[in-house]
Amino acid sequence: MKKVSSKLVLLTGCIVAGAALAASPEEAASLGGERYTPMGAERSGNAAGTIPAWTGGITEPPADYRPGDWHPDPFADDEPLHTITAADVPRFADVLTEGQKALFETYPDSFAMTVYPSRRSASYPDWVYEGVRTNAANAELVTEGKGGVRNARITSPFPFPKSGVEVIWNHNLRWRGVHVSASNGQAAVTRRGRYGLVLSLQEIGVPYATRTLTPFSRRYPNVMLAFKFKTIQPSLLAGDGMMIIEPIDQTSDPRKSWIYSRSARRVLRIAYAAYEFPAPGSDGLSTIDELGLFNGAPDRFEWELLGKKEMLIPYNSYGLHQSNLRYDDLLQPGHMRPDYARYELHRVWVVEGRLREGASHVYSLRRFYVDEDSWQIAASDSYDLEGKFWRTAEAHSVNYYEIPVHWHTLQVYYDLKEGRYLASGLDNRRNPPVFSEDADPRDFSPNALAYYIR
């Protein structure tokens, strides 16, 4: 692989109080043309030929795919280009995140990254692309209070971002389907490689993402998504559950959270579940606003858009998304077994968030690497309040080509101080996600949470 420049272009879009338009009419009209993809990414490949042009992504399932089955790897015949070890870090330093470098330094004898040809597989339904075009012409960034977005629907609002916070909203509001039912396994792995598996069933409804206005989107015009889950294993936690309603603009409409306690046999409203609080079932290895690598209101950080860069990120991770992969084969001391991960060279937006003066969080600095083709954060680096490197996380993604949608299949959060990590999204021994467009607002109410768990 040829060396890629690490130079970043600093973008300092001027944002004033109130609302700011992000795209000109000319920019909006250029989406889906010769220069830009419908999502706003650069259509062409790079000069070195190591990143190909985007030609539509995966537009139909492989011939051996059967609806409801696991997703076979459409790139199974690809041969690796490199296997990077600790000794190779100086050669590849320009395309590695600080977190990846830290993993090589911490685990020089076992951590590795297998690099494959880059496949720009991200794709979405045509009506989602039309949503991007409409958003580009109409979306407004709200900078008052906790901030938010106006005049946008379906998907990412700012395909031509002028500021870091616009990229954060592109990630938060990226299209992930309308209604998703999934099994989720989560394992907090100790230094010695021991873990207890927490299994849950989850449902996600996204009123913002509906193709047309529906009872769901009309009832929740300011809701980004609604999320509920119930724990089914281990027995000590089985029967507990939680539901979150996540608004777009939380200034006057804050996040709402409920839990169902098996011992109390009732739904209880909880006052606060956001920002730096430990994520449920994470054993303190990730914060609530790290789920999906970032979620929620971005108001506690000052965001800076550092520009676009070519980086090695997890992509087309079908090797991690197979029913025959045993958890014991994947989870080992220190870090996930590298044999099953796939890394590719892609262009990413680099965004940095510094903790605002007077704001509370466990991180002083966060850096995100956002895939240009999907607006999904692919990797993150986080620093403690003393400015020391602390945690890194990666979202291993696939194209769920029956929809199609580009989304993570596994998230891994590494705590370099503790020598531990959290693997979230372990659905291999259960069932793949089920996508539908029939979300019902009655499915996401406190009474619905109680019925869901019972």
**Cβ-Cβ contacts under 8 Å for 357 (sequence gap 6 or more):** none
CA 369, CA 381: separation in Å to the nearest integer?
Answer: 9
Q: Do 375 and 39 form a contact (C-beta atoms < 8 A)? A: yes
Closest CA to 305 of 133, 153, 169, 102: 169
CA 13, CA 445: separation in Å to the nearest integer?
Answer: 40
CA 124, CA 101: separation in Å to the nearest integer?
Answer: 33
CA 417, CA 285: separation in Å to the nearest integer?
Answer: 11
What does the pLDDT read at residue 19? 53
What does the pLDDT read at residue 154? 97
Low-confidence ranges of the chain (pLDDT < 50): 1-18
> Among residues of the chain, what percentage have pLDDT more than 90?
81
pLDDT tens-place string over residues 10-36: 443 333 334 555 578 889 999 999 999
- Taken in order of first residue, the domains within the chain and their CATH numbers are 19-59+73-453 (2.50.20.10)
What does the pLDDT read at residue 439? 81
- Whether pTM > 0.75 for this model: the answer is yes
What does the pLDDT read at residue 442? 87
CA angle (188, 193, 197) in 5-degree steps: 40
What does the pLDDT read at residue 5? 38
What does the pLDDT read at residue 123? 98
What does the pLDDT read at residue 287? 97
